[in-house]
C-alpha cells in the first residue's frame, strides 16, 4: 500500500508542546483512499531535521509528503507555496545553531514551489468550515529549511514524491502564554489534516506548482 508521510516538529523556543506533532501523530496508521499514513517526529535543528527526514523517506517510500510546523503569527492553516534556499535564524534552534544568510543546499535553486495541490487543499478546508489559506513565505527558520530540503530531495532523487508544507497556529494552551496570539485546537488541526490528505490524493498539482523551481 502506498504511503503518505506526515511530519511534525518537536517543541522549540521554550515551548513544552508543538501542536504540529500532537496533530500528525494522531493520524499515524490511518488509511485514506488506498494509502497508508505514517507520522514521523522531526527535530527542530538545522541539518539534523533533514537527516531525520531522509531516514523517514527511506523507511516509508512515500508517494506524498506533507510536513507540518507551528507559527505563532498564523491564524489559519497556511499552505506554503514556496520554499527558499535560505537559512537565516532569528532565534537559535534546539541545538543552539543560529545560521545567518546561509543556503539550505549549496548550489541549489533559489526556490522551489510546493508540488501538492495547495489551492484545492485550501479550498476544501474552507468549504469544511476550517480557516485556511495560501502563504508565500515559510520564513527562514527550520520549517523552511525542512520544506526546501524536502523539495530538493524530490528534485534530485525522488521525482515521483509530491511535497508540501503546512503551517498551523499555536495550540490554545500556548496562546494563553502569548497574549494576542491566535490559536487553533489540535482536534481541528487533525480534522484539517484529514481533509488535506484526502484532497491531495484526489487532485493533481496546481499548474504553477508543477513548474518546480525558481532560479
How far apart CA 3 and CA 60 sit, in angstroms, is 7
**How far, in whole angstroms, is CA 170 from its chain's centroid?**
15
Query: Among 80, 145, 152, 209, which one carries the catalytic annotation?
Result: 80
Question: Would you call 187 exposed, middle or buried from its count of C-beta atoms within 10 A (0-12, 13-18, 19+)?
Answer: exposed
How far apart CA 11 and CA 150 sit, in angstroms, is 20
Residues paired with residue 35 on neighbouring β-strands, in sequence order: 32
| DSSP element (H, E) containing 24 | helix 19-24
Angle of CA points 183, 188, 189, to nearest 5°: 80
- Sign for the CA dihedral angle at 168, 171, 172, 176 comes to negative
Query: Among 35, 145, 152, 167, which one carries the catalytic annotation?
Result: 167
Query: Among 143, 145, 151, 205, which one carries the catalytic annotation?
Result: 143
Closest CA to 18 of 53, 42, 47: 42
Does the annotation count 80 as an active-site position? yes
Does the annotation count 167 as an active-site position? yes
Does the annotation count 145 as an active-site position? no
Closest CA to 165 of 191, 186, 143, 195: 143
| Residues marked as catalytic | 80, 143, 167
Amino acid at each position: 500500500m502506498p504511503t503518505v508521510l506526515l511530519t511534525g516538529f518537536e517543541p522549540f523556543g521554550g515551548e513544552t508542546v508543538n501542536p504540529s506533532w500532537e496533530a500528525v501523530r494522531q493520524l499515524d496508521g490511518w488509511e485514506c483512499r488506498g494509502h497508508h499514513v505514517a507520522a514521523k517526529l522531526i527535530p527542530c535543528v538545522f541539518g539534523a531535521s533533514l537527516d531525520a527526514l531522509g531516514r523517514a523517506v527511506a523507511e516509508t517510500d512515500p508517494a506524498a509528503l506533507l510536513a507540518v510546523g507551528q507559527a505563532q503569527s498564523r491564524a489559519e492553516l497556511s499552505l506554503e507555496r514556496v520554499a527558499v534556499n535560505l537559512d537565516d535564524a532569528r532565534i537559535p534552534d534546539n541545538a543552539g545553531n543560529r545560521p545567518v544568510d546561509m543556503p539550505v543546499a549549496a548550489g541549489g535553486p533559489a526556490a522551489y514551489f510546493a508540488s501538492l495541490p495547495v489551492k484545492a487543499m485550501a479550498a476544501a478546508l474552507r468549504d469544511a468550515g476550517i480557516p485556511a489559506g495560501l502563504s508565500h513565505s515559510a520564513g527562514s527558520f527550520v520549517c523552511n529549511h525542512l520544506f526546501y530540503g524536502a523539495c530538493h530531495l524530490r528534485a534530485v532523487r525522488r521525482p515521483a514524491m509530491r511535497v508540501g508544507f503546512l503551517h498551523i497556529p499555536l495550540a490554545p494552551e500556548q496562546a494563553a502564554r502569548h497574549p494576542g496570539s491566535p490559536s487553533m485546537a489540535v482536534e481541528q488541526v487533525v480534522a484539517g489534516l484529514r481533509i488535506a490528505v484526502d484532497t491531495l490524493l484526489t487532485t493533481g498539482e496546481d499548474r504553477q506548482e508543477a513548474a518546480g523551481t525558481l532560479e
